[in-house]
């Protein structure tokens, strides 16, 4: 028989704020155009140009037609959705729905190049920054919350045939991102 003994000892911890204590704010170092910038505060996401989404259903079906002349077009598996809350209750409903269904929400559009990562994005067209649009990709079978939304694109996100997505990435000019889907090669 083996006995395991664990002992706890009370420690006096001093959390008083004195002039000699330094509290470090999260530091971020970003190398931009060969100059080093140190960030010690929250900062906005900076978006670049909109890009062509290689997962958009029309692009996927074109890739299937290119690769398999007698291939059957696929149906969308997901929707790319923009939620535009009108009031705070809409925002609560959207975020509660997303949390309940395990949906990742973004405060910036997903089809734009991100020039600089940041902590937040505020749509320049909104009057109330809290009510900035929310973006996500959702399964086509999922019921949407009762809040204003717009389906921006229909998507095909089944990557079981990597050759289709290699073709979509080539057709949309995203050859630099091929490693994201094929890694070190195709098994």
User: What are the tens digits of pLDDT across the range 43-69?
Assistant: 898 999 999 999 999 999 999 999 999
| 8 Å CB contact between 91 and 85 | yes
pLDDT at 183: 67
Residues 100-113 pLDDT 10s: 999 999 999 999 99
Both tokens of 138, joined, read 């959702």
Residue 175 has pLDDT above 50, yes or no: yes
| 8 Å CB contact between 165 and 106 | no
Q: Please tell me which residue, 126 or 82, carries the higher pLDDT value.
A: 82
Q: Give pTM, 2 decimals.
A: 0.72
Residue 114 has pLDDT above 60, yes or no: yes
pLDDT at 125: 87
* DSSP one-letter code for 147: S
Q: Of the candidates 150, 133, 174, 12, which has an alpha carbon nearest to the alpha carbon of residue 80?
A: 150
- CA 77 vs CA 5, 136, 153: distances in Å: 54, 14, 11
Residue 164 has pLDDT above 50, yes or no: yes
Strand partners, 134: 83
Residue 3 has pLDDT above 60, yes or no: no
């Amino acid at each position: 028989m083996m006995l395991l003994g664990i002992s706890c000892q009370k420690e006096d911890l001093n959390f008083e704020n004195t002039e000699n204590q330094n509290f470090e704010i999260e530091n971020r170092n970003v190398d931009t155009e060969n100059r080093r910038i140190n960030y010690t505060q929250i900062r906005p996401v900076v978006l670049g140009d909109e890009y062509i989404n290689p997962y958009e259903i029309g692009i996927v079906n074109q890739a299937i037609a290119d690769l398999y002349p007698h291939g059957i077009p696929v149906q969308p598996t997901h929707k790319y959705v923009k939620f535009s809350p009108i009031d705070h209750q809409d925002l609560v409903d959207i975020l509660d729905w997303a949390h309940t269904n395990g949906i990742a929400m973004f405060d910036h559009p997903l089809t734009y190049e991100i020039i600089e990562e940041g902590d937040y994005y505020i749509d320049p067209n909104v009057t109330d920054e809290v009510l900035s649009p929310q973006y996500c990709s959702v399964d086509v079978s999922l019921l949407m919350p009762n809040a204003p939304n717009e389906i921006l694109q229909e998507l095909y996100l089944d990557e079981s045939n990597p050759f289709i997505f290699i073709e979509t990435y080539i057709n949309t000019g995203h050859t630099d991102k091929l490693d994201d889907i094929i890694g070190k090669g195709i098994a």
